Structure 1
């Protein structure tokens, strides 16, 4: 290599190194931002806390929604599926609230850097709804800059949107609040009611109670029409749609149901298989 050419190459390398050193920790170069995979907003991690790394595994797979179950036990909000699995060390703060707050601080105010859309944290209440929600509300207020909030008829979007599911008694204290940092997970019976999307932005229901099809054979025409009608009605009201109890064993039947959910524009697809849904959505170029 000629001396002049070598000098130019070294100068270019030095400039690149200087730029990388000058950037704050965690800041990506323009080319890196271009190639960063996009979040999969439709992907919902059902019973997320049962994965080896609660929350973190779902975020590594770019999920836009995670679900946790909580129990109110001696003033603490503990995360578990069944009472026999309760562990004082597995609190809502330790597994979700503190890690989310730390991530948002590190990612410039967002769960996914460069994406303003909030992560959905679906909180399924397993103990008595009203008392558990009131304790949860106290906890969420300690993270006031983390959560989407509602105040006197207006919604202010934050990095994370908490949606309350599970025991339906939580609805009473929630509806009485003029300010809150959580929203309600409605059911199909809430479509067309007076409850606004600013209260119940999500409609969730059991797939098996509404559809007979489990992905084997053709989707019955009447059931496909019903599914699309549900989604259309919810979207017209500014609400999102999720079904639980959809087929979740890897194979053609599950893929067939997921394909129909995408075609109908269902907002959240439920799964315990993080890698499987990630690969499916990437293959279908869906969010």
Structure 2
């Protein structure tokens, strides 16, 4: 938001990084400063892999790191940030940060633990009851072994679920599955070298438009992420198709790309 003059006064955009609505920090917990590095680059979506061990949710990709928990590295820091900045993850920003929780261990066992842990932060976490969303500064979305399911709307729920393109549960809605994701290579073969084949470009645009019509946000994972023109070509096509979430491990590169190219940022 640019500064503007109004009745002799000037309103300035809050200092700090500009929030980038498409920027998703894949495997965020592997960065030097989990969560904080992503926020410092304006990322509005972060991903944490978790394992349930003895009633606690630990971070880790190939196995649990018993020195780091979801609460210590995400929930507690986010609560401090939101309280310091006036009920927002970014100063003056009205949307919710997406916390994508990729459950690597047994999903049904982790479900009640996630429900209880997130419920302990009622001022921080978005919740759903009777199919209606009560938005708060952070919205949790469960993936991995709790992806592509729905839950009863009769109980207050502290998370949505990450859906799967082409195999959404029957009767699912965007309030149950606020994000729909899939592996890029389940749908496309193009890796950013040379022009994208027109048939694949048409499929991408049609797929995204169809999901948007039903209210879903869309993400593809496993897109090529090595620095170079192929990655930028992939990002360019995703942006042109209005894909909602762009994955990367390279925070600075995606931040620079979106600041230059995403007019809807």
| TM-score normalised by L of structure 2 | 0.92
1:150 equivalenced with 2:101 (yes/no): no
Which residue in 1 is equivalent to 2:196? 219
Compare the two structures and name the one with the higher helix fraction.
Answer: 1
Equivalent residue, structure 2, for 1:68: 48
Cα distance change of structure 1 residues 88 and 185 upon mapping to structure 2, 3 Å threshold: same
Structure 2 residue runs without a partner (length 5+):
1-8
Change (3 A) 1:31 1:56: same
Matched, 1:244 2:225: no
Alignment CA distance shift 1:97-1:35 (3 Å): closer
Structure of higher CA gyration radius: 1
2:149 is paired with a residue whose SS is helix
Contact 2:149–2:169 under 8 Å retained in 1: no
Q: 1:36 to 1:71 in 2, by over 3 A?
A: closer
- Can you list the C-alpha shifts for 1:65-105, whole angstroms capped at 9, x where unaligned? 0000000001110001111xx33220110110000000000
Q: Deviations along 1:24-71, whole A, 9 cap, x unmatched?
A: xxxxx9665266542011000000000000000000000010000000
Indicate yes or no: 2:149 matched with 1:134.
Answer: no
The answer as to whether partners of 1:128 and 1:169 remain within 8 angstroms in 2 is: no
Give the gaps of 5 or more residues in structure 1.
1-28
The CA RMSD over aligned residues, in Å, is: 1.9
Structure-1 separation of matches of 2:167 and 2:75: 29
Return the match for 2:155 from 178, 187, 211.
Answer: 178
CA contact (8 A) 1:78 1:87 kept: yes
Q: Secondary structure at the match of 1:49?
A: helix
Match of 2:3 in 1: none
TM-score when scaled to structure 1?
0.85
